[in-house]
């Protein structure tokens, strides 16, 4: 992937005829934010020397900008990559350990547009929002909003889209707690219904009916959620909404039969081959 980053970088500077002075300006922008950037990473990462660190940030930011720009112009993804490679890149973008802070990507993106004098360029958060629509587990209506624009990085952005629209519990409400799986609940008389709510978290139980928003499960969902859960454990211990949602689903699903019941009710749609694979993956999150 290092060679692809260099190709994207070359394309990046050639498109607007960027000379060495402009390149130095962008690198100076990164250098001015070096301390803030290093604070975003582990102690081990801080051992990287200055020149290597600045180059790594620049190439990483340019790659993300160019990849998302190409994706925004082609629903199938950049033509330079095989479909399997595009899927791998999309997964890499969700990995918590791979995150590059948005504040520096946005700065490079904006300076690039100023240098190229592109008055109609796509705003940075509109660009990353557009790319987010390729993740099938997100509801179709993904829009740039105030919460999204506060995202620290791409994993944080996906989480913000997932929790957007969640209903707040009032003082008398309590989170739904489960002791039995879907099949056992159905045997006890509980009815299941799918809702078209835009937020996965808006699960309700009233008058014997458990209403759950539709969930699309594929390998992207599993990998992205695993990283979002890790993020919540680091930064959102008191607002670990996705962790709570997965815990709820883990209690609801103990076997392929539980998945089959939820699939039959339209609550789950998946592309994992069989219901056993869904049960196994949910239970391992």
**Using one digit for the tens of pLDDT, what is the confidence trace for 141-181?**
677 778 888 999 999 999 999 998 888 755 445 556 678 99
Task: Decide if 257 contacts 187 (C-beta within 8 A).
Answer: no
Q: Which of 18, 21, 42 is nearest to 116 (CA)?
A: 18
The 10 Å CB-count burial string (b at 16+, else e) for 188-220 is eeeebebeebbbbbebeeeeeebbbbebbbeeb
- Half-sphere exposure of residue 7: CA atoms within 13 angstroms, side-chain side: 7
pLDDT tens digits, 241-256? 999 999 999 999 999 9
In the chain, the percentage of residues whose pLDDT exceeds 90 is 45
Tens digit of each residue's pLDDT (9 = 90 or more) over 258-273? 999 999 999 999 999 8
- What pLDDT shows up at residue 171? 46
When pLDDT is averaged across residues 89-98 and rounded to a whole number, the result is 89
**Sheet containing 191-195, strands listed edge to edge, beginning at the edge strand earlier in sequence:** 191-195, 209-213, 204-206
Confidence of residue 116 (pLDDT cuts 50, 70, 90): low
CA neighbor of 284 nearest in space, from 260, 259, 250 = 250
d(CA 231, CA 233): 5
């Amino acid at each position: 992937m290092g060679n692809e980053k260099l190709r994207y970088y070359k394309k990046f500077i050639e498109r607007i005829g960027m000379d060495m002075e402009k390149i130095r300006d962008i690198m100076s922008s990164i250098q001015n934010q070096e301390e803030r950037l290093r604070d975003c990473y582990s102690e081990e990462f801080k051992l990287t020397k200055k020149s290597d660190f600045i180059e790594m940030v620049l190439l990483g930011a340019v790659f993300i900008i160019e990849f998302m720009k190409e994706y925004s112009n082609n629903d199938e993804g950049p033509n330079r990559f095989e479909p399997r490679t595009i899927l791998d890149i999309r997964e890499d973008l969700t990995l918590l350990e791979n995150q590059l802070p948005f504040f520096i990507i946005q700065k490079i993106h904006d300076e690039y547009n100023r240098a190229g004098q592109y008055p109609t360029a796509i705003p940075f958060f509109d660009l990353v929002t557009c790319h987010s629509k390729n993740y099938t587990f997100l509801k179709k209506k993904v829009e740039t909003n105030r919460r999204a624009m506060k995202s620290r990085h791409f994993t944080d952005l996906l989480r913000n889209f997932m929790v957007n629209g969640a209903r707040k519990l009032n003082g008398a409400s309590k989170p739904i707690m489960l002791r039995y799986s879907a099949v056992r609940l159905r045997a006890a008389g509980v009815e299941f219904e799918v809702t078209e709510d835009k937020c996965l978290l808006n699960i309700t139980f009233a008058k014997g009916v458990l209403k759950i928003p539709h969930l699309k499960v594929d390998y992207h969902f599993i990998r992205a959620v695993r990283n979002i859960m890790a993020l919540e454990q680091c930064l959102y211990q008191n607002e670990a909404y996705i962790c709570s949602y997965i815990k709820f689903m883990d209690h609801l699903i103990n076997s392929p039969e539980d998945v089959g019941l939820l699939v039959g009710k339209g609550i789950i749609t998946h592309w994992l081959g069989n219901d056993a694979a869904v049960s196994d993956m949910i239970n391992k999150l």
